[in-house]
Amino acid sequence: MSDLKQVLNDEIRRLARKEVKQAVQPLQASIVALRRQISELKKMLNAANRQAQIIQQKVTSGSPVEPEDTEPKLRLNAAGIIRIRTKLRLTQAEFAKLLDVSMHTVCSWEKGKSYPRAKAKERICALRTVGKRQVKALLDNVAQESEVSEDEQ
């Protein structure tokens, strides 16, 4: 009798494992797909963070960073400079402060009387990919740095 009981218990366990396996298998496949998607999103986020750091470094310090082959050459004219400035909702004074030039320089760029030099072009190119919120944060940082330097003098 105990043999029959043991055989029935083993068969019940086997069938239960088979049913659980069939129920869990589609879930495991979706888990693998979701993990792959999470990994791709993390890679994209890391790349975006690196790009944001490069942009911030270019805008604030103006120092050249290793050039990327993916960046297109920047061709600027007066209308393009005005378009960038108005897209970011900046005044000429704020735009000049971000680029570390005078307001008169920005004015002459926008009138087409002069053109930005290489250093300013790089900064303008960096500003093209920055959002309005990031620009406001950069302006706040520049204002704080200028206050600190005035206090030291």
DSSP string, 86-131: HHTT--HHHHHHHHTS-HHHHHHHHHTSS---HHHHHHHHHHHT--
Average pLDDT for residues 8-31, to the nearest whole number? 93
pLDDT of residue 74: 67
- Distance, in Å, from the CA atom of 48 to the CA atom of 38, rounded to the nearest integer, reads 15
Each residue's pLDDT tens digit, 78-106: 999 999 999 999 999 999 998 989 999 99
**pTM, full prediction:** 0.50
Name which of 47-51, 74-78, 100-104 the model is least confident about.
74-78
Average model confidence (pLDDT) for the chain?
86
For the chain, how many structural domains are there in total?
Answer: 1
Contacts of 127 (CB under 8 A, 6+ apart): 59, 84, 88, 98, 99, 135
Q: Which of 25-34, 69-78, 114-123 has the lowest mean pLDDT?
A: 69-78
The range of the structural domain enclosing residue 153 comes to 1-153
Q: What average pLDDT does the segment 2-30 reach? A: 92
